[in-house]
Chain A
Amino acid sequence: MTLITLSITDLLIAATLVVLVALLSWRLYLGSAKQLLIAATRSAIQLMLLGYVLHLLFESNSLPFIAMLSLFMLSVAGYEVMARQKQGFRGLWGYGIGAVSMFISSFSIMLLTLLVIIQPDPWYKPQYAIPLLGMLLGNTMTGIAVGLDNLTRNAWELRNQIEARLILGQRWSQAIADIRKDALRSGLIPIINAMAAAGVVSLPGMMTGQILAGSPPYEAAKYQLLIMYLITAGTGFGSLAAVWLGSRHLFDDRHRLRLERLKKK
């Protein structure tokens, strides 16, 4: 089976559908039309650009170049996590918690995968490294953003209850325990749901892609499973790190709740 290449017309047909949705929602005063069009345009530019960069990258096969692109992806993901916080942390922490958590989880898992599991030659072969990191970052980012948002929002809303616990002599970790548990769960629910529905309800993106590109379905399924486990581990470690760092930063060494470290609503 050879790859059927897509023409510009093919893409335009699909794009027209998006425009139609936007038009309809605008006509019915339902909003979201503008965001929809902006996001669609953004994705077109970003993906085309990525295609071009990857093309260059695959030809060059240079490690510094790959490392630079990886760092760029990480920094954008760190920014996205911060931007999705309704009431994130102020200053460097706002960016740092997400970026550090993603760095710990996504980067180390990517390295493990390349060096131990897939073992391409060379190990940093961009055809493997970049898509892998992209999938990891994309999912980890969502988990961390949701988990952190949940943590800071609940800490703010339930501040009186947290303080009541501190006043009665509980340690900060006890006083935030329920909120932290909730935050972690909220970060992990999407990936848990994705695993539960995989293959029964949804045909996951990567498997779809490989099948379209001509891979045997059984091989595609194995790759998909690998990626799902990696994503789960990445999201799990990332959310754990972010929720732990974030909850710790809500308190000082005297076990005081320091909500002024959060941005104003």
Chain B
Amino acid sequence: MPRLTIAKLATALLDPVNLVIESSETVMLHGLSGSGKSMLLRAIADLDDHTGDALLDDTPCSAIAAPEWRRRVGYLTAETHWWAAFVGEHFHERNSELVSRLGLPEEVFDWEVGRLSTGEKQRLGIARLLDNRPEALLLDEPTANLDQDHTHMTEELLKDYQARHETPFLWVSHSPEQRSRIGNRHFRIEQRRLVEERA
């Protein structure tokens, strides 16, 4: 039963944040652009210098090697980047069921990265992240570039993953409909603080 705890974690744009995301819980986050949402996710993923800590169950991020932490606490960036020429080179296994649930054919693994559309990249970015079998997920606008059908497919897949692995989610979304559809608790960033909202 993984639980993600954020303990006094502060970034350049945020005062110390305390937040516990229980297993199977989805915490939605929004706020003006530039208010520090991505920076918070980056700090939880330990990509930037920060004070405070994050814990997965009782394991503090600072107590284990950063690569291991990042495999266990998966972070989906708003824009995905690809370092090899072909899609398949970014995956451990060619999971055709996973990509088909995102509306992509199995041959997608043989596709050239340079020919992917923005939406395809975003969906493959999610597949690539789930391929690591993360125990908690930080999602920065995972459906921002997707049409309605693909948005629903992606939400379904993520909720399904959550149901199976009891994954805590911290999900950034600009869409009020998506937030009320998906979220269990809701926060917005206002004046350097996380403010809880009534759903």
Contacts and interface: CB of A to CB of B under 8 A. Distances in A.
A241 B48 CA distance: 27
Interface string B118-130: 0000000000110
Interface stretch (A76-84, A144-152, A166-174, A222-230): A166-174
Main secondary structure of the interface of B (DSSP, over half): loop
Interface stretch (A55-63, A100-108, A114-122, A156-164): A156-164
Interface stretch (B30-38, B67-75, B148-156, B191-199): B67-75
Given A256-B46, A256-B47, A169 B67 contact: yes
Interface footprint category on A:
10 to 19
Nearest to B125: A164
B81 A161 contact: yes
B82 A161 contact: yes
Interface string B13-47: 00000000000000000000000000000000111
Nearest to B79: A160
Given A166-B47, A167-B77, A169-B132, A254 B83 contact: no
B80 interface: yes
Contacts of A249: none
B12 interface: no
Interface string A46-60: 000000000000000
Contacts of B147: none
A178 interface: yes
A178 B65 CA distance: 22
A165 interface: yes
B146 to A, nearest CB: 19
Contacts of B66: 166, 254-256
A149 B70 CA distance: 30
A164 B68 CA distance: 15
Contacts of A178: 83
Given A254-B46, A256-B48, A169 B83 contact: no
Nearest to A169: B71
B83 A158 contact: yes
Interface in A88-146: none
B132 A163 contact: no
Interface of B: 45-49, 65-68, 70-71, 75, 77, 79-83, 128-129, 132
